[in-house]
Amino acid sequence: MFHTVGKPVLRKEAHAKVTGAAKYVDDFSLPGMLYGVTVRSPVARGRIRNIEFLPGIPWDEFIIVTAKDIPGENCVALIVDDQPYLAAEYVNHPEEPVVLLAHPNKYLTEKARGAVRLDIEPMPAIFTLEDALAKKEIVWGDDNVFKTFLVEKGNVDVAWSDAAHLVEGEYRTGAQEQLYIETNGVVARANPEDGITIWGSMQCPYYVHKALLKPFPLPPEKIRVIQMETGGGFGGKEEYPSMIAGHAALLAWKSGRPVKMVYDRAEDMVATTKRHPSRTKIKTAVSREGKLLALDIEFDIDGGAYATLSSVVLSRGTIHAAGPYLCPNVRIRSRAVATNAPPHGAFRGFGAPQSIFALERHLNKVARVAGLPPEELRGRNFLHRGETTATGQEIHEDVNLEALLSRGLELSCYHAKRREFAQSNPGSRIKRGIGFASFMHGAGFTGSGERYLQSVAAIEATREGRVRILVSSTEIGQGTNTILAQIAAETLGIDCADIEVAQPDTAQVPNSGPTVASRTCMVVGRLIETCAIGLKQALSKVGLLGTGYSRSDFAAACTRYVDQFGGLKISSQYQAPPGVYWDDDAYRGDAYGAFAWAVCVAEVAVDTSTFEIRVNDFTALQEVGRVIHPVLAAGQIEGGVAQGIGYALYENVVWRDGRMANGQMTNYIMPTSVDVPRIRVFFEETPYTYGPLGAKGIGELPIDGPAPAILNAIENALGVEVNEIPLMPEMLFATMAREEVTIG
């Protein structure tokens, strides 16, 4: 049916990446370039009294930038303009940037960084959600609260009395470092005449473009942002590049020379964003038949010191908190609060992994209380087509979660393994267990987000008879270049190799929106599909393209068109699918154009003498609409699962007064090739009407399920309930010791 969609065509940058030829920002230099470094606050909160430049450094050779050197506004433009590029009077978190230094000698800048002494009068600071909510100190606004949401469906308060069972629980998730293997970095060239050019590692060139308009008094066309090959993002290069780009540009502006800033690993880990820590409290009412009658959820996240993206992270987390279940009465109250940690930010899943962790752990508890197997409880409460989510969104597409769950359990031999482990565990030092989670992930910006973005994509025919895709959507490893080329090639009836993807450069490509929110394939891919249809029509209309054309006919038609008319470029702007409407004020309606649905099953082994936990097998089954590229799609799932395993079991950010104390790969542990089990990936394909060739979003979905599935498996193995991640061996030891005391 398709000639390129669904086929494992070669990744567009494959050759460059396997030969080492691909150019990342640190591989790029300009003549006369300086190296920039950032001097950061050693304290969590305080008033800057003095900045001292200690002897032993040739300071007259250095370019030194402080807040007063910023030509325009000192703020990183995002949602609320509360975060400065450089702290002027007060610092609000450890590692907050205060001074920038640049020098031609990279080694000397490092030495100089240590010779700047910040004299800061400490002020009381807060480091926990609880202290923020209790207003132990007010560190942001009037009440430490960045944002609150309320979702109400039915009336939870009337449901309690009818319930056969009331079940309550509290769930916590820790911070997580994105840990892209390429750290944040940019090269900047800046002066008042030519404006600013940034080359960098980033997900969202237009975010950087918008941000730089504040500190620099320049018209938009004088700011140019170019994405280099990017060594992973996972959300960590969504908003942060606006900060480092601004810093490098300030140094370049003052010096008149290009400036490179590339963080070392320690700086990247302690100073840049992480996943928001969370706490969720859930109370459910369940009928005798195991039907959910009411879901009352309090979902709180720690946003760190500045607002950044916390409100939208909270929004996605809030909407996903009720999961893929039908419940007549739902109340979700959520808050994002300020503490004196570096701002937490975007990370794959964007709030959903936190709230889904809570719900999928909680439903296992509900099942136990209701006397039902966990799969049976979920089976009685799944959403169907025609039913509504917590925000009142009616599901218009076919979804069969019962079948998805049964197939997932079958593929993983869930029932057989439950029986087997029940037999083999008693008397064994190694206890094995199996658990699952069922969940969904909305594709595209939440609520009205896509309407506000008004993304534009374009494609053009070239004189050489090829087709070029023009988008600001970035290739960060996930396969953007390849899948967009496939969508265009499929629609145009030509080969993927005939399609080029332009380097994201704000001077050359339209704003197709940020590369976030599982939106690139579904939303931008759809725009490319529309453009491709337009391009084909344009060629046909002037008689250059008949029916039944070959690749070479098509190429010849492009060449002739360009020769005859000077060029052929087709743009397309986002339009919401019919019937999709979100009410911002009531916080109700169609939260997402489409949801991807999934079930994942984890098998674990716990050594009861060392409390080491291993994931021995993992099955991931998902319905993501049409699979555009089977290898890239499976790669997204496998990578997300591995990150989810790390989130659940290994990746422990140790906080000391708001500062990450283990900012090294030596003691912040991500999964290695030895830690990740075989991951078996399966897709079901229900084409989505408004996705390109039926595709939905995929990128974030796979990190939502592993953590609760793994903890459900641990519960199966040990019979203990642990509701906090990351679950380190010492925590499991403490829990088991406590349980034994209670029992015995």
Partner 1 sequence: MAKVAIEFRLNGVARKLEAYPMERLLDVLREQCGLTGTKEGCGEGECGACSVLMDGQLVNSCLVPVLQAHRAEILTIEGLAAVAELHALQAAFASAGGAQCGICTPGMILATLQLLERAPHPTDEQIREGLAGNLCRCTGYQKIFDAVREASRV
Give the nearer residue to partner 1 in terms of CB position, either 620 or 714.
Answer: 620
Q: What is the smallest separation between the CB atom of 232 and partner 1, expressed in angstroms? A: 4
Told to check if 16 binds partner 1 by CB under 8 A, we report: yes
Return the bridge partners of 46, or none. Answer: 91, 122
- Name the token pair of 403: 């079948």
How far, in whole angstroms, is CA 581 from its chain's centroid? 24
Q: For residues 21 and 507, which CB has a smaller minimum distance to partner 1 in the complex?
A: 21
By the rule CB under 8 A, 13 interacts with partner 1: yes
Residues in the chain: 744
Of 598, 590, 580, 579, give the one whose Cα is nearest residue 686. 598
Per residue, the 3-state secondary structure of 366-424, as one string, reads HHHHHCCCHHHHHHCCECCCCCECCCCCECCCCCCHHHHHHHHHHHCCHHHHHHHHHHH
Q: Cβ closer to partner 1: 264 or 607?
A: 264
Q: How far is the CB of 235 from partner 1 (least distance, A)?
A: 12
Choose one: 230-238, 244-252, 418-426, 586-594; the region binding partner 1 (CB under 8 A).
Answer: 230-238
Helix-strand-coil split of the chain, %, nearest 5:
30, 25, 40
Q: Is 672 in the site for partner 1 (CB under 8 A)?
A: yes
Interaction of residue 643 with partner 1, rule CB under 8 A: yes
Rounded CA-CA distance 18/15 in Å is 5
Q: What token pair was written down for 548?
A: 């039944």
180 binds partner 1 (CB under 8 A): yes
Residue 234 C-beta: closest distance to partner 1, Å: 7
- Say whether residue 19 binds partner 1 (CB under 8 A): yes
Q: Do residues 215 and 246 make contact, with C-beta atoms less than 8 angstroms apart?
A: yes
**Which residue in the set 7, 136, 172, 265 belongs to the binding site for partner 1 (CB under 8 A)?**
265
Q: Minimal distance in Å, beta carbon 483 to partner 1?
A: 13
Cα–Cα separations (whole angstroms), residue 394 to 327, 389, 438, 445, 674: 13, 7, 19, 18, 43
Site for partner 1 in 52-71 (CB under 8 A): none
Q: Which is nearer to partner 1, 13 or 721 (CB)?
A: 13
Report in angstroms how near the CB of residue 278 gets to partner 1 at its nearest. Answer: 22
**CB of 478 vs partner 1, minimal distance in Å:** 7
Q: Which two tokens stand for residue 619?
A: 């099955």
Q: Is 264 in the site for partner 1 (CB under 8 A)?
A: yes
The Cα 39–Cα 59 span in angstroms is: 14
Cis ω before 726 (30° cut-off from 0): yes
Taking CB under 8 A as the binding criterion, the range among 188-196, 209-217, 224-232, 649-657 that sits at the site for partner 1 is 224-232
Single residue of 2, 3, 15, 49 touching partner 1 by CB under 8 A: 15
Stretch binding partner 1 (CB under 8 A), from 24-32, 271-279, 360-368, 534-542: 24-32
In the complex, least distance from residue 15 CB atom to partner 1, rounded to whole angstroms: 7
Q: Which stretch binds partner 1 (CB under 8 A): 20-28, 165-173, 428-436, 498-506?
A: 20-28
Stretch that binds partner 1, among 88-96, 114-122, 434-442, 634-642 (CB under 8 A): 634-642
Q: Which helix (H) or strand (E) holds 353?
A: helix 352-370
Helical axes 401-411 vs 414-424, angle rounded to 10°? 50
8 Å CB contact between 223 and 195:
yes
The backbone region for 612, taken as left when phi is positive above 0, alpha when psi lies in -120 to 50, beta otherwise, is beta
String marking each residue 469-498 x if it binds partner 1 according to CB under 8 A: -------xxxx-------------------
By CB under 8 A, name the one of 34, 39, 102, 179 that touches partner 1: 179
Owner of token pair 């005798």: 288
What is the size of the binding site for partner 1 (CB under 8 A)?
56
Q: Is 104 in the site for partner 1 (CB under 8 A)?
A: no
Query: Of 405, 469, 599, 642, which one interacts with partner 1 (CB under 8 A)?
Result: 642
Select the span of 16-24, 305-313, 562-570, 594-602 touching partner 1 (CB under 8 A). 16-24
Figure out which of the listed residues 1, 20, 219, 737 binds partner 1, where binding follows CB under 8 A: 20
CA distances from 225 to 256, 338, 385, 504 (A): 18, 31, 43, 8
Q: CB neighbours of 516 closer than 8 A, spacing ≥ 6?
A: 203, 204, 235, 238, 346, 350
- Pattern 594-633, partner 1, x by CB under 8 A: -------------------------------------xx-
Using the rule CB under 8 A, which residue among 2, 3, 21, 542 binds partner 1?
A: 21
Burial annotation 458-497 (CB, 10 A radius, 16+ → b, else e): bbbbbeebbbbbbbbbbbbbbbbbbbbbbbbbbbbbbebe
> Six-digit token pair at 166?
């009331």
From the list 173, 156, 588, the residue with the least C-alpha distance to 360 is 173
Which one among 181, 422, 654, 661 touches partner 1, defined by CB under 8 A? 181
Contact 254, 67 (CB under 8 A): no
- Beta-carbon contacts of residue 157 (< 8 Å; ≥ 6 apart): none
- Site membership for partner 1, residue 678 (CB under 8 A): yes
Helix (H/G/I), strand (E/B), else coil: 197: strand
Instruction: Please say which residue, 677 or 729, places its beta carbon nearer to partner 1.
Output: 677
231 binds partner 1 per the rule CB under 8 A: yes
Q: Which is nearer to partner 1, 233 or 694 (CB)?
A: 233
CB 535, min distance to partner 1, A:
29
- Among residues 82, 95, 96, 229, the one that binds partner 1 under rule CB under 8 A: 229
β-strand pairing of 594-607 with 613-623: antiparallel
Contact between 27 and partner 1 (CB under 8 A)? yes
Residues that bind partner 1 (CB under 8 A): 8, 10-11, 13-24, 26-27, 178-183, 229-234, 264-265, 476-479, 631-632, 634-635, 638-643, 664-666, 670-674, 676, 678-679
